[in-house]
Amino acid sequence: MAATIFAANESTVLLNGQPIDGVRGIDYRHQQVRSNVYALGSAERIGMISGPQIVEGRLRVVSTSVALNALTGEAPFQITAMLKRGETRMTVTFDECYLLQKSLSLETGGVGEAVYEFTATRVREEPASASATPA
């Protein structure tokens, strides 16, 4: 099976449906708590119970983002990453997000980079066929 490759320069990240300028990268992790179930008197696992899940992500932006900086308080937001390379597309949607922290770094001879860390209630990954997604 071949790997699915997406290109950062062809992809778009949206905040509440509006493009975020200057996105350099997005990364996230989805973690699911799992517990083993054992039969009485046996050391072999007979099942698995799924528990709580956590979704955390980070957006890296050149300098800063006015839209992301405006996120304050307890108002949830949605982030949608529209990943693309040629005809290959996938939409990753983060629902009910809350900003955890933001930071800015600036190095000699470089440009500033802001990092916005968030948590989400859920993440949805939806592959799309080229014919179903307008160009």
Please report the pLDDT score of residue 134 as a whole number.
47
> What are the residue ranges in the chain where pLDDT is below 50?
130-135
The CATH number of whichever domain residue 27 belongs to comes to 2.30.110.20
123 lies in a domain?
A: yes
94 assigned to some structural domain = yes
101 is a domain residue: yes
- The verdict on residue 2 lying in a domain is no
* 134: in domain: no
Per-residue confidence (pLDDT) for residue 9, from 0 to 100:
86
Question: Does residue 135 belong to any structural domain of this protein?
Answer: no
Residue 112: HSE in the Cβ half-sphere, 13 Å Cα cutoff: 8
Kindly provide the b/e burial profile for residues 24-51, where b requires at least 16 CB atoms within 10 angstroms of the residue's own CB: eebebeeeeeeeeeeeeeeeeeeeeeee
Reported pTM: 0.82
Query: Does some domain include residue 110?
Result: yes
Query: Looking at this protein, which amino acid is placed at residue 7?
Result: A
Total structural domains in the chain?
1
Query: Whole domain around residue 15: which residue ranges?
Result: 8-128
